[in-house]
Structure 1
Amino acid sequence: MRERVNASNAPIDISAFPGIRIAHHTDAEHGTGCTVIVCPAGATGGVDVRGGAPATRETDLLRPEETVDVLHAVVLSGGSAYGLAASCGVAEELERHGIGLDMRVCRVPIVSGACVFDLAFADPHVRPTAADGAAACAEALDRAPSPLPRGNVGAGTGCTVGKLRGPAHAMKAGLGTHVEQAGELLCGAVAVVNACGNVVDPDTGEPIAGLRSADGMGIEDMADAALAGFADAAGAGQSDRFGVPPRANTTISCVVTNARLTKAQATKVAQMAADAYAHAIRPTHTTNDGDTVFVMATGVVDAPVDVVGILATRALERAIADGARSARSSHGLPGAADG
């Protein structure tokens, strides 16, 4: 098993990451929420989008050839496309704090975001609003560093996994975090786990949460179940009817690092870190997933891009696993945190 490179061997909470502020808005009753990651001084941003059905904001702006080279916040939200409204509230709150690009007539905060589809979890008519995003942003800017809640919070409130056979066999998942360190280099990750597939331990491959067996006592290998189900459906002449509801799943993440990166390098780190999805989610990057990884680099430590990418991948693997392990049972779905 791999060991964290950390001289003290003590875990680092994402809330203590230098230059980064994070907070949630959680609506447990209606099963949705949003999470805001803010870099008040501005970070270099990058993004990688691999899912077939993303709901995103300001991803083109992060492309290396575009001229804007600063990112002030990333918003991870529930609510599917409706949840993008939370990012508008974050931008307005950042402007109130004087954070953003100086355009002479006003400041324009650069806010990127992505959403998960959680509308089928509890109440499909309640989604994160601009006011919710603004409230989470204000808390992020004002709160003293303290351990960030994980599991059924923020954008992870309505997350589920293992949805091949519908909600009757799915499990609860949520939001996870993890920080890795190599010398002075830090890479942290926030993952919102709403995948179509199962979540497994990235080191052992053992399932954490996913497709529940018929007796509810175990977790089936979802890839094997999908192949077997297709074969059975094909034999009955119904192969076109086999599958999960389209565009109802996504894992969205933000990697923060203190590395000094260009936009092109931050994009490469996002591409490398996306491998964490394949290490911890099986299957992943399906047509039913809108998987997205953002990167925010605060520009403090010089390190080779490949080293940053390796460390970011490790952090994101463990954040995904943490998002499944930290989830509690909710709205009739069991969570791994409850045993």
Structure 2
Amino acid sequence: MTDASSICDVPGLTVGHHTDSRRPTGCTVVLCPQGATAGVDVRGAAPGTRETDLLAPDNTVNQVHGLLLTGGSAFGLDAAGGVMRWLAERGHGFAVGPARVPIVPAAVLFDLWLGDPAVTPDAASGYAACEAASREAPTEGSVGAGTGATLGKLRGITHAMKGGVGTASVTVGGVTVGALVVVNAIGDIIDPASGQLIAGARGDDGRPLGMLQAMLRGELPAVTLSGTATTLGIVATDASLDKADAKKLAQMAHDGLARTINPVHTVSDGDVIFSLATGTNRERGDLRLLGPLAAEVIARAVLRAVRAATGLPGLPASTELAG
């Protein structure tokens, strides 16, 4: 039976995608209009982000109203303006005198080598993603921010495979933890339960090579442009956390990437994980439980993203090479 769990199992969250029909790109938004405590941990050496400094525990703003993950490299950060406008039109945001300013941190991935690089997510894209947002489990695979996502780029884009968006959740002891991940990694994808190579850099026969083993045999990685790969994630819980604990939750969630992506957090990746704590179950969160659960749902979401992806010409999906 297909696992229907998703980040939307955390009460108070909705998810929406916008997929651009002109080329493989798009954006994905997670909305928490009533506000949620948030944190972030950036591990990749080539990130593209917006409004992450305010998430530091010692800074003033305590809650965010949405998070945006988007294609288009740094150009895609424009889409956050559309998310802000959508929220502001409905009266959501941080009160500053007579105004309300929606807080929408964002992170981007590089997909500009697919189609016309002048086509990138913009404010209209972000607004459209909000219009599409719902409590239903979001579509996975090559949609939204995952539309142009690729993986396994250590031999160059000509030997890469298709990435995408995935989501998952678990509920333990009355606390729910969910994740949404966009896999655009430079590394291979490994199922940690079996050690099976799911997708990654392809050999000359067109099938996943196992890049770490190839490097150990002496095959050197291709020269890649910095910042051309990134895995973006959001981990969310209905438990109550302060900003310091939210940051720690984001840090612990990165273990899920390390279990499923090899190599990860490279000089060419801009890996970022955000965290959200809605506090809707009013229980004070215990990181001894939440941290391991966060890593687990991140790992599950990575695998689901890759298995749900749809291939493009020259970029096969894992399902096309199965068997």
1:27 corresponds to: 20
When structure 1 is superposed on structure 2, of 120-129 and 155-164 the one drifting more is 120-129
Structure 2: distance between partners of 1:84 and 1:226: 35
- Determine if the alignment matches structure 1 residue 290 to structure 2 residue 279: no
Structure 1: distance between partners of 2:222 and 2:188: 18
Q: Deviations over 1:123-176 (max 9, x none)?
A: 211100011101111222xx4x33311100000000111111222211011011
Question: Do 1:202 and 1:321's aligned partners in 2 also have CA atoms closer than 8 Å?
Answer: no
Q: Deviations over 1:227-251 (max 9, x none)?
A: 5223xxxxxxxxxx95322210000
Residue type of the alignment partner of 1:220: L
- Determine if the alignment matches structure 1 residue 92 to structure 2 residue 85: yes
2:61 corresponds to: 68
Q: How does 1:130-169 map to 2 (within 5 A)?
A: 130-140=123-133, 143=134, 145-169=135-159
Question: Do 2:155 and 2:202's aligned partners in 1 also have CA atoms closer than 8 Å?
Answer: no
- How far is 1:40 from its partner? 1.4
Structure 1: distance between partners of 2:176 and 2:319: 27
From 180, 184, 188, the counterpart of 1:190: 180
1:335 corresponds to: 317
Question: Do 1:175 and 1:192's aligned partners in 2 also have CA atoms closer than 8 Å?
Answer: yes
The TM-score normalised by the length of structure 1 is 0.90
Q: Secondary structure at the match of 1:74?
A: strand
Question: Do 2:5 and 2:137's aligned partners in 1 also have CA atoms closer than 8 Å?
Answer: no
1:307 corresponds to: 289
2:211 corresponds to: 222
- How far is 1:10 from its partner? 6.9
Structure 2: distance between partners of 1:129 and 1:30: 14
Q: How does 1:33-72 map to 2 (within 5 A)?
A: 33-72=26-65
Q: Deviations over 1:284-315 (max 9, x none)?
A: 10000000000010012333112111111100
Question: Do 1:269 and 1:306's aligned partners in 2 also have CA atoms closer than 8 Å?
Answer: no
Q: Secondary structure at the match of 2:278?
A: strand
Cα gap change, 1:282/1:69 in structure 2, threshold over 3 Å: closer, same or farther? same
- How far is 1:213 from its partner? 1.7
- Determine if the alignment matches structure 1 residue 201 to structure 2 residue 191: yes
- How far is 1:277 from its partner? 1.1
Count of equivalent residues: 317
1:6 corresponds to: none
Structure 2: distance between partners of 1:178 and 1:337: 19
Residue type of the alignment partner of 1:328: T
Q: Secondary structure at the match of 1:68?
A: coil
Cα gap change, 1:28/1:200 in structure 2, threshold over 3 Å: closer, same or farther? farther
Residue type of the alignment partner of 2:308: S
Residue type of the alignment partner of 1:170: A
Residue type of the alignment partner of 1:123: D
Structure 2: distance between partners of 1:149 and 1:42: 24
Structure 1: distance between partners of 2:20 and 2:139: 14
Q: Deviations over 1:255-290 (max 9, x none)?
A: 111111000000001000011111000001000000
Question: Considering only aligned residues, what root-mean-square deviation do their CA atoms show, in Å?
Answer: 1.6
The TM-score normalised by the length of structure 2 is 0.94
Give the gaps of 5 or more residues in structure 2. Answer: none
Residue type of the alignment partner of 1:313: A
2:300 corresponds to: 318
Q: Secondary structure at the match of 1:47?
A: strand
Question: Do 2:226 and 2:268's aligned partners in 1 also have CA atoms closer than 8 Å?
Answer: yes
Structure 1: distance between partners of 2:177 and 2:21: 29
- How far is 1:220 from its partner? 1.4
Structure 2: distance between partners of 1:158 and 1:298: 30
Question: Do 1:164 and 1:226's aligned partners in 2 also have CA atoms closer than 8 Å?
Answer: no
From 238, 261, 266, the counterpart of 2:241: 261
Structure 1: distance between partners of 2:24 and 2:30: 20
- How far is 1:30 from its partner? 0.2
Structure 2: distance between partners of 1:265 and 1:44: 10
